[in-house]
Amino acid sequence: MAVTIRDVAEASGVHVSTVSRAFSAPHLVNPETRTRVLAIAEDLGYRPNRAARALTTGRTHNIGLIVADIANPFFPPLIKAAQAQARLRDYHVFVADTDEDPQVEEDLIQTLTKQVDGVLLCSPRLTNRTIERLREEVPFVVVNRRAKGMPTVLMDVGRGARQAVEHLTALGHRRIALVTGPSGSWTSKEMQEAAAAMNDVDVVFLGPNPPTELGGLAAATDVIASGATGVLAYNDLVAIGLIEGLAERGKNVPGDVSVIGVDDIVPGRLSRPKLTTIAMPTAAAGRIAVDLLLQSVDSAATAAATMLETALIVRESTGKAHR
Amino acid sequence: MAVTIRDVAEASGVHVSTVSRAFSAPHLVNPETRTRVLAIAEDLGYRPNRAARALTTGRTHNIGLIVADIANPFFPPLIKAAQAQARLRDYHVFVADTDEDPQVEEDLIQTLTKQVDGVLLCSPRLTNRTIERLREEVPFVVVNRRAKGMPTVLMDVGRGARQAVEHLTALGHRRIALVTGPSGSWTSKEMQEAAAAMNDVDVVFLGPNPPTELGGLAAATDVIASGATGVLAYNDLVAIGLIEGLAERGKNVPGDVSVIGVDDIVPGRLSRPKLTTIAMPTAAAGRIAVDLLLQSVDSAATAAATMLETALIVRESTGKAHR
DNA sequence: GACAGTGATACAAACGATTGCACTAAAGTA
DNA sequence: TACTTTAGTGCAATCGTTTGTATCACTGTC
């Protein structure tokens, strides 16, 4: 049915090995032969069978990309960038969604293992122990989690949080609430530590909260009770929910309270007021993670952590403190 | 390195073919032998090599999922559902993003072809001619486009548009603008036809427009000039942009103008005012498309079109006409 | 003129599974 | 008793590539 290397070989009167080398080791074959073979291959519409190639070389030229929830607006830009970068390197990407379930995550890794050269683990829900065990079977790159023994891509939310707090203090806010995320979150911990170390400002911590709009909505009363006029939320979804919750209680953003989110997701750019936020370099993270992964596929893994810069983007949800 | 069927065979003192059958043809092997083999396989941590299996069976147990833009909020729920459904059927999913480029789309299909049993084409940018040509090489299911000769999953935007217009007329609007999408869009055409057939209401068509917030933003002046008090936008992004454009010109939504979007994407649910919209059953589309695809993989393709219901969701961007 | 060196190609053995066929032994049939 | 049947298993070819080694015809060297 499909055209194989054998068909090309017969059509061009050479041995299959010559055809193979025409593609993968050009310097070993006569330039004339090569062009002829390539032309005939093109003609016949030959496409190498990657499964067969994988069998001999041990390289599938596939990678797995595992995220907790594709529908979470934080991930698509990362997936998109990772996929594009992989394509550039002639790799294909399996995308899998664990639905936030660690067991599913582990199963997925297990079945994917034989089919990929490496796995990109984004915001894993697995314990570090489990990750280290699975590490034996397939190379990993972990995004958004510190995991020793393997390459890691992190985003500098600590710096982002400092910038955010500075932005708020510059606007005259003296009492700031940090609406934290889930208790296990590395990101949340980083933000807390950074904020706690700031001078000239009162920081109160409100949380933990689910990392969703509902989480933000529910946090509104606590924020009002805290007396804070500036808020840094765990992420944009929480920030949007919070703004809604504040509005329900008669508080206007940014008139009464200033709110800053994290992630710079699309909904934040489109909400009203447009969200001031800490932009996460998700696309860069995707690209870099892919490169690190492919690197660690054919050489020893550099178990280094890569820290990416974040950036404060000021829009409409922050304003001067009136007091 | 990895444990193969051969290792299992040796460890259990049977031939590899018996091990193979213990997995794939249980009725051909003695129950006792089978349980023993399975236990040993489990013990050794044996995982079948899918590349090798693909080579002999011709079934990769992979499918390709091609979308124009992963970062477009319309797609993630569809991808998520498709991926989950595939997993249920023991299939893995390659996700690829064409960046709206038909050439990339074609290349992707070409390289993916040898690695998948079928391809899910979502809102393709390729011409029908090209799709029909590629159809020779791999089974397709097309979502959001009518394409003859292959299974198709469509969403009933025509009915949605009718409901939307009825909703507006019920609120007293007598002059309605339809802000259309790209000229090649099947969805846009469906909406136009449905709206044109309505009674008791003036419908003006404004477009074509790019299917983005910018498209909506730019359409604001035309909408105002048209004198329409109700608007049906090509999609939620356009609707959000339009609302912003109207606001810039002093028009309030829903006070002065009512706006309805299409898709029910997350940003629409979070924007202010919350968008009244036609919900598209994207998750169902993903699930059904996968099932159709797997079905057409091992039997003749049923080239039928499946039409999915849409639903009008009334939120805050529509209100009574004041006149 | 014999021989090493080299460039180009052919040969054949893998890779890890599946599967049609052959074989054996025990059970069923006449 | 001689036969067919059947259940259970082994054998070996096969899928489409890659790749180490063998072959062969030149060219250049001494």
In the predicted model, is pLDDT for residue A289 greater than 70? yes
The reported pLDDT for the residue numbered A186 is 85
How far apart are the C-alpha atoms of B215 and B228, rounded to whole Å? 18
pLDDT of residue B51: 92
Smallest CA-to-CA distance from A73 within A284, A288, A282 is with A282
How much is the pLDDT for B198?
A: 94
**What is the rounded average pLDDT of the residues B169-188?**
92
Mean pLDDT to the nearest integer, A42-54: 92
Question: Do the domains A59-155+282-308 and A157-280 sit in the same CATH topology, yes or no?
Answer: yes
Please indicate whether residue B184 or residue B197 has the higher confidence score (pLDDT): B197
Mean pLDDT taken over chain B: 92
Residue B26 contacts strand D, CB under 7 A: no
For B40-85, what is each residue's pLDDT tens digit? 999 999 999 999 999 999 999 999 999 989 988 999 999 999 999 9
Distance of CA B279 to the CA centre of its chain: 13
Q: B83 touching A, CB under 8 A? A: yes
Segment A99-106 mean pLDDT: 90
Nearest CB to A92: which of B54, B73, B94?
B94
B301: confidence class by pLDDT, cuts 50, 70, 90: low
Separation of alpha carbons B199 and B195, rounded Å:
9
Q: Considering only the beta carbons, identify the residue of B96, B213, B270 that sits closest to A213.
A: B270
Taking the CA of residue A33 and the C1' sugar atom of nucleotide C20, their distance in angstroms comes to 39
Q: Name the residue closest to C14, CA to C1'.
A: A56
Could you tell me if A271 lies within 8 Å of chain B, comparing CB atoms?
yes
In the predicted structure, residue A70 carries a pLDDT above the cut 80: yes
Share of chain A above pLDDT 70, in %: 99
Residues B194-201: what's their mean pLDDT? Answer: 93
Which tens digits make up the pLDDT trace of A143-162? 998 888 889 999 999 999 99
A6 touches strand D (CB under 7 A): yes
Distance in Å, alpha carbon of A279 to nearest chain B alpha carbon = 16
Q: Which residues pair with B230 in a beta bridge?
A: B176, B258
Q: Measured between alpha carbons, how far is B303 from B296 in angstroms, rounded to an integer?
A: 9
CATH class of B62-155+282-309: alpha beta
Has residue A62 got a pLDDT over 90?
yes
Between B304 and A118, residue with greater pLDDT: A118
Contact A114 B267 (CB under 8 A): no
Nearest CA-CA distance, residue B200 and chain A, Å: 34
Mean pLDDT score, B137-165? 92
* Rounded average pLDDT over A187-199: 93
Does at least one atom of strand D sit less than 7 Å from the CB of B29?
A: yes
Which of the residues A67, A79, A115 would you substitute to probe the B interface, choosing the one with the greatest number of B C-beta atoms within 10 Å?
A115
Contacts across the A-B interface (CB distance below 8 Å) = 128
Point out the residue among B87, B94, B97 whose CB comes nearest to the CB of A80: B97
The reported pLDDT for the residue numbered B323 is 59
Among B74, B108, B68, B64, residue whose Cα is nearest residue B285: B74
B206 against B71, higher pLDDT: B206
Query: For the domain bounded by A59-155+282-308, which CATH number is listed?
Result: 3.40.50.2300
Question: In terms of CA atoms, which chain A residue is nearest residue B51?
Answer: A51
Contacts of A75 in chain B (CB under 8 A): 76
User: What single-letter amino acid sits at B313?
Assistant: I
A31 CA – C2 C1', rounded, Å: 32
Residues with Cβ within 8 Å of residue B58, at least 6 apart in sequence: none
Q: Does B56 touch chain A (CB under 8 A)?
A: no
Give the homologous superfamily in CATH for domain A157-280: Response regulator (3.40.50.2300)
Of B47, B84, B112, nearest to A97 by CB-CB distance is B84
pLDDT at A304 over 90: no
Taken as a whole, chain A contains a residue count of 323
> What type of residue sits at position B262?
V
Strand partners, A258: A230
Where helices occur in chain B by DSSP H, the ranges are 5-12, 16-24, 31-44, 50-57, 75-88, 102-113, 128-134, 157-170, 186-196, 213-226, 236-248, 266-270, 282-298
Provide long-range contacts, Cβ within 8 A and 24+ apart, for A19-23: A23/A48
The confidence score (pLDDT) of residue B49 equals 92
Judge: A76–B71 Cβ closer than 8 Å, yes or no.
yes
pLDDT tens sequence across A260-274? 999 998 888 888 899
| Mutation site for B-interface testing, chosen from A67, A266, A315, A316 by largest number of B Cβ within 10 Å | A266
Tell me whether residues A50 and B114 touch, CB distance under 8 A: yes
| Burial label, B189 (beta-carbon count in 10 A; 0-12, 13-18, 19+) | middle
Question: Which of A231, A239, A304, A295 shows the shortest CA–CA distance to A265?
Answer: A239
- Find tokens 């000229």 and name the residue: B183
- Range B128-133, long-range pairs (CB < 8 A, 24+ positions): B130/B102, B130/B106
3-state secondary structure of B119: strand
Written as six digits, the tokens of A233 are 């939320």
pLDDT, tens digit, 9 for 90 and up, residues B223-263: 999 999 999 999 999 999 999 999 999 999 999 999 999 99
The answer to whether residue A316 scores a pLDDT higher than 70 is yes
Domain parsing of chain B, residue ranges: 5-48, 62-155+282-309, 157-280
The reply to whether residue A97 touches residue B111, judged by beta carbons under 8 angstroms, is no
The H-assigned helical ranges of B89-127 are: 102-113
Cα–Cα distance for residue pair B101/A84, rounded to 1 Å: 13
Does pLDDT of B299 surpass 90?
Answer: no
**Structure letter (DSSP) for residue B117:** S
Which residues of chain B neighbour A283 with C-beta distances below 8 Å? Answer: none
**Which B residues 173-232 touch A at CB under 8 Å?**
213
Q: Which CATH architecture has domain A5-48?
A: Orthogonal Bundle (1.10)
Q: Confidence band (pLDDT; 50, 70, 90) for A303? A: confident
Averaged pLDDT, B179-193:
89
pLDDT at A301: 62
Q: Please, where are the H alpha helices in chain A? A: 5-12, 16-24, 31-44, 50-57, 75-88, 102-113, 128-134, 157-170, 186-196, 213-226, 236-248, 266-270, 282-298
Question: How many Å apart are A53 CA and C8 C1'?
Answer: 24
CB contact under 8 A, B71 and A266: yes
Nucleotides of C under 7 A from a protein CB: 7-12, 14-20
C1' of D28 to CA of A19 (Å): 30
Torsions phi, psi of A30, nearest 5? -55, 125
How does residue A51 score in pLDDT terms, banded at 50, 70 and 90? Answer: very high
Do A95 and B93 form a contact (C-beta atoms < 8 A)? Answer: yes
pLDDT at A270: 80
Alpha-carbon distances of A51 from A85, B60, B86, rounded to whole Å: 21, 8, 20
Mean pLDDT of B161-176: 96
DSSP character for A322?
Answer: P
B296: tokens are 């057409």
Residues of A in contact with B79 (CB under 8 A): 70, 95, 97
Chain centre distance of CA A83: 11
pLDDT, tens digit, 9 for 90 and up, residues B109-123: 988 988 999 999 998
pLDDT, tens digit, for every residue of A1-37? 689 999 999 999 999 999 999 998 888 999 999 999 9
* Mean pLDDT value of segment B82-95: 95
Q: Tell me which DSSP letter residue B25 carries.
A: -
Band of pLDDT at residue A323, cut at 50, 70 and 90: low
Cβ-proximal residues to A6 (8 Å cutoff; 6+ apart), any chain: A16
Angle CA A119–B285–B289, to nearest 5? 70
Angle made by CA atoms B299, B107, A55, in degrees to the nearest 5? 70
CA dihedral of B112, A114, A288, A70, whole degrees rounded to 10: 70
More reliable by pLDDT, B282 or A111: B282
Distance B32 CA to C17 C1' (A): 23
Residues engaging strand C (CB under 7 angstroms): A 13-18, 21, 28-34, 52, 55-56; B 2, 4-6, 16-17, 20-21, 23-25, 46-49, 52-53, 55-57
pLDDT value for B322: 80
Check residue A149 and give its pLDDT.
Answer: 83
Å: B19 CA to C30 C1': 38
pLDDT in the model for residue B185? 81
